[in-house]
Every structure is written in structure tokens, then in C-alpha cells.
Structure 1
Amino acid sequence: MIDGQPAEAAPSPSRSVLQHEWQAFWLAVGFLTRIPMLARIDYSQKLMNQCSMYFPVVGLLLGALYAGLFALLGLAWSPLVGVLLVLCFHLFITGAFHEDGLADSVDALGGGYTVEKRLEIMKDSRIGTYGTVALVMALLLKVALLTEANHIWLALLVAPAVSRLTPLLLMATLTYVTDPDKSKSKPVADGFSNARLAIAAAFVLALCILLSFWHPLLIISSLTAVLLVALSWGVYLRSQLGGYTGDALGASVVFSELVLLMLL
């Protein structure tokens, strides 16, 4: 009793954990997309750190939207038109988040001759020649690869989920190297848990196993794409920057999607 009133029962540990993970999921949704968060978020540094585990899940959610939209558009238009419209939807729903990272990364790594200069260029909101060319070519290549895929719906579904595992590997193996006071991704990068990385990887692997019925090489292709980009891009970032930035993580998602689509 408290002041004559019965005391409220404390939430059970299991309920508290589930509520925490539910908020972490929606925080990941809000971080990566424009989708409104359908949960009240008790924001904290710890929650921001832990939400990255759900990046592949958010990718699957996006993939389901893309595949469903493509199927709907296919009722009226050709596969090429459908892919182009889905790509427009993708750029809108994600705010071109990862594509912006690609453009900034290529501008910085192509135009800077010192680590300091590269980081300075990367923070500049303006896009240069290197970034423009890289962005246009990446989008054109993505459209070409999707239209040539045996199962376009499958590529649209799985690529966003698989590709969002790559930045988690980079966060786990490289050092963060930008101004923490001006970076959006610093809270995600700080204190990243290897245990949560393992859970995210297990989710992606289970998804690929489940969908391998439609494409027998999906598991090998997905693992190859993620590991190849994480290793090659990671080594390059270490040599050019000494670690990774938020923009570099976004670029890794784009690279992983393209490599996976090429393998498929």
C-alpha cells in the first residue's frame, strides 16, 4: 500500500525485455525509413545502439513492400516500368538514405587526398561529379539487373534484407572515424554488440534458406555478396579513412545489393 492505495505491480522481466525490443525495432524503422513509428519510444543511447540488430528485419519489411508493389504494377505495366516505379517508391520511402551515403563516400574518397580532407568532403551536403556519376550508374545498374532477374519479386524481397547485414559487419570490425557531435549514425555505431550481430546474421541466413526453394543458389549468393563487400569495402575504408563513417555504411548497402543482384 502507498498512501492508502495498492501499489502497482512491477512489470515482469520478460515483458520488459519484449517492450524494449519492440521499441528497438520501431526505432530501426524510423532510422532507416520514412515509415511512421507505431510505438512510443523511450529513447536512450542503449536503445539506439541495440536497434541496429533489426536492420535486416526492416530490410525485409521494405522488400515485402517492393515485391507487393511490383506484383500490383505488373497487372498494368511491363516489368521495366514496374521496376522503375518500385525504385521511385524505394527512394521516397527510405529518403534515398543509403544512396546519399554512396554519393558522399565516392565524392570524399575520389576527391580528398588526406583523411581530414576526405572527412570534410563527406560532411558537405553538396554532391560532386564523382558522387553524381556513382549514383546514376548504381541506379541504372540496379534497374538493369532487376529486369533481367529470373524472379524479380524474389530479388526485390530479399536484397534489402541481405544487404543491410553488411553495415553491421563493418561496425563490428572497424573503428568509427568522424565527428561524433555531427553524425547521425554515431549512436548506432557506439557499443555495437557482437551477440546482436549474430542474431541478425542468423535471421538473414534463415530467410535465405526459406527462400532457396525459388533460387537454389540464394544462400551462397547472399553470403558471398555480404562477405565480399564487407571485406573489400572494409579494407579500402581502413586504408583511406582508418575506419568507417555513416556514409560509408550506407554505401555498403548499395554495393551489397548490386553484388547480390549480379550473382542472382
Structure 2
Amino acid sequence: MSREWQAFWLAIGFLTRVPMLIQIDYSQRLMNQSSLYFPIVGLFLGVCYAGTYTLLTLAFSPLTSALLVVILHLWLTGAFHEDGLADSVDALGGGHTIEKRLEIMKDSRIGTYGTVALVMALALKVALLTEVNPTWLALLAAPMVARLTPLLIMGYLPYVTDPDKSKSKPVADGFSRARLTIAATFTVFASLVLTVFEPWLLLWGLCATLGVALVWGGYLRSQLGGYTGDSLGASVVFSELVLLLGLAI
């Protein structure tokens, strides 16, 4: 139980800027175990976003409130997944070989493809948040559902890139499919509970996780031969957008 508690806080420290309030006996195995808690960390973020949005709408318009919540998201997560999206699109758009794509992906600079993808993704997210009803439910569910997608991709694709220089190496090495099953079960159960407020949530949640994992994962297999840490971050952004698109219909 002590190791699981540490794994939970390590997941928070890995995915957010929230300081870890306990001492962590860090190891690669513990980092691997922390993947189980990614959807739970997403639910924690969702509670923060939904609560903040509800309070903001008491003083501001839905559009302004949505923009402020997205800013809060970027601050809380350090734009972790958005950075992965920009790097992935730059690499896949500008590289003609696997080696060149991986080289571009490691470059800290952002190019035209990544800039356009990042701006459009954030603009679309804000637009969809003003259309979905209730918005608080979308803000609550999307971070949780989306953080299951990278675990699904890790479950069936090989890891590519230089493992010694990658932040996601500890999660990728020896990824546990048993813990993936637990994480998926938690996400499905939580989505079922939330269908009280939105009957279509579970369906669109499956599209956002399985659909993105299959389509984006298949594309990564054809273009890179597997996944990278940046491409996992991009999968979170894609999953959130798919879920919001579905809920906005």
C-alpha cells in the first residue's frame, strides 16, 4: 500500500505541476506502476476545472470562463500534452524518414506545423467548451477519459526513440497490461456513473479512447514504427477533442 500511495503521487508529479506532498523512493519500477493512476489524476484535474468553471460563470461569460479554465489547465499541466502535440505534428509533417522524424521530435524548437496544430487545437477546445451542455461535465470527464488513451497505445505498440534521453522511458519499459486493465475498468465505471448527467458520455468516451488509440496508434506505427513520449501527449489532446466533439453534437 505504501508503494501504491507513492505511485499515485508520482503520477501527479509526472502529469502536473502539483508538488508531491510525500517523499518518493523513486525507481523505474515505481514510475511504471504510476501509470495505473493516470486516469485518476485526470479526474482530479477535471474536478479542478469543473469547479473553477462553475465559479467563473458567476462573474463572466461562458466564453471568458472557458478561456480562463484552459489557461488554468495549461498552467497546472505545464502544457505537457500540448508540447507533445506540437512536437509530434512538426516531426510527422516535416520528416521524410523515421530517423528524421525522431530527430525533429527531439528538437525543443517549434515549427510551422506544430504552431498551427497547437493554435487550432486550443481554439477548437475553447469553442467546443462553449457549445457542450453541461460544460462542467465535459470539463470533469474529458481529462480522465483522455489519459487512458496513452495507456492503450503503450499496451499494443513498441516504444521508439532514444530511451536514455526520454522522460517517458520509465513508463514505457515493462508496461503492465494488468494495470492497464485496472485503469480502463476505473475509467469505464466512472464514465458509467457520469451517464446520469449525459447518457452518451460512455459511447463518446469509448470513441475518444479506443478510436483515437486505433487511428492515431495505427498512424504512428506506419510513420514511426511505434510510439514516443511526445506522441502519447498528442493522443491525450486528440482524445479530449473527440470527446468534446461528441458531447457537442
Q: The TM-score by the shorter chain falls in which range?
A: over 0.9
Pick one of 45, 66, 73 that aligns with 2:56: 73
**TM-fit CA distance, 1:181:** 1.1
Unaligned runs of 5+ in 1: 1-17
Q: Deviations over 1:156-179 (max 9, x none)?
A: 000000000000001110000000
1:247 aligns with 2:230: yes
Could you say what secondary structure the match of 1:181 adopts? helix
**1:56 aligned partner, one-letter code:** P
| Separation of aligned partners in 2, 1:33 and 1:201 | 21
What's the CA shift for 1:45? 1.0
Could you tell me how far apart the structure 1 residues matched to 2:56 and 2:155 are?
Answer: 39
| Cα distance in 1 between the residues matched to 2:147 and 2:53 | 21
Deviation at 1:40, TM superposition (A): 1.1
2:15 matched to 1:20?
A: no
- Work out which of the residue numbers 191, 197, 217 in structure 2 matches 1:214: 197
Q: Distance in 2 between matches of 1:99 and 1:260?
A: 17
1:156 corresponding residue in structure 2: 139
Per the alignment, residue 50 of structure 1 pairs with: 33
Any residues of structure 2 matched to 1:90-109 within 5 Å, and which? 90-109=73-92
What do residues 69-96 of structure 1 show as CA deviations (whole Å, max 9, x unaligned)?
A: 0011111001110000000010001000
Question: Structure 2 stretches of 5 or more lacking a match?
Answer: none
- Among 63, 69, 72, the alignment partner of 1:86 is 69
1:174-189 aligned within 5 A:
174-189=157-172
Structure 2 residue identity aligned to 1:120: E
Counterpart pick for 2:185 among 197, 202, 209: 202
Partner of 1:10: none
Aligned equivalent of 1:141, options 124, 129, 143: 124
What residue in structure 1 maps to residue 211 of structure 2?
Answer: 228
CA shift for structure 1 position 183: 0.4
**Which digits, 9 at most, give the CA deviation of each residue in 1:120-175, with x for residues without a partner?**
00000000000000000000000011100010000000000000000000111000
Displaced runs of 4 or more, over 2 A:
none
The percent identity for this pair of structures is: 73
Q: Which has the larger radius of gyration?
A: 1
- For residues 207 and 83 of structure 1, what CA distance do their matches in structure 2 show? 23
**Which of residues 113, 123, 134 is equivalent to 2:106?**
123
For residue 224 of structure 1, report the CA deviation from its aligned partner: 1.4
Aligned residue for 2:136, secondary structure, equals helix
- In structure 2, the partner of 1:14 is none
Give the distance between the partners of 1:215 and 1:207, measured in 2 at CA.
12
* Matched positions, count: 247
Q: Kindly provide the amino acid, as one letter, of the partner of residue 183 in structure 1.
A: S
**Normalising by structure 1, what TM-score?**
0.93
Partners of 2:172 and 2:155 lie apart in 1 by 8
